[in-house]
Amino acid sequence: MELLNTVLIAIALAMDSFTVSISGGSSMKKIKLKDSITIGLYFGFFQFFMTVLGWKSGIVFSEIIDSFDHWIALGLLVFIGGKMIFNSFKKTECTKFSFTHKTLFILAIATSIDALGIGLSYALLDKSVIFTSTIIGIVAFTFSAGGIYLGKLCKKALKNKAELIGGILLILIGLKIAYEHGVFNF
């Protein structure tokens, strides 16, 4: 069950970078394997790194907030998931995608902020993050690298739906954590 949760979290987190990749792919005339791998490495690494960074930060503060940590985890997951759902309904214009390292660096950080919250949640729940962050990085790499090709095939049709599904998954996982900590026991 823990593996399933980890994979679902990784998929949900990958939706932002997947969306960016689809957008990039839909605006490209020709896709090169090198571009796909470069994008995957940027997004995969930062998803991994930000998860570990959030976990490390949470370890420092875990003793202080131990009695209400599950509420923080629920709040973070619902907030991040809600933001993703809200963003999925925004109309966005597809612009030409730039593969400069500066642009990819900024996009990778922006799309991995959610992973920081997941890492923090794991620390608050006293869970190890090494396996989780590795899975998150691998899934983000795979979705980002593949999203370029999917974007070329599907254009804009799938873009907003991917973020909507990711947001719903994060909220459901947050509710599951709250349920496991007795929040919904009346």
CA 8, distance to chain mean position in Å, is 10
CATH of 2-180, one of 1.20.1250, 1.10.260, 3.40.50, 2.160.20: 1.20.1250
pLDDT at 128: 82
Positions of the chain with pLDDT under 50: 94-95
Long-range CB pairs of 176-180 (<8 Å, 24+ gap) are: 176/5, 177/70, 177/73, 177/74, 177/77, 177/121, 177/125, 178/70, 178/71, 178/73, 178/74, 180/70
- The residue ranges of every structural domain in the chain are 2-180
For 31-83, what is each residue's pLDDT tens digit?
A: 889 989 999 999 999 999 999 999 998 888 766 766 666 677 678 778 877 87
**141 contacts: CB under 8 Å, gap ≥ 6:** 40, 41, 43, 44
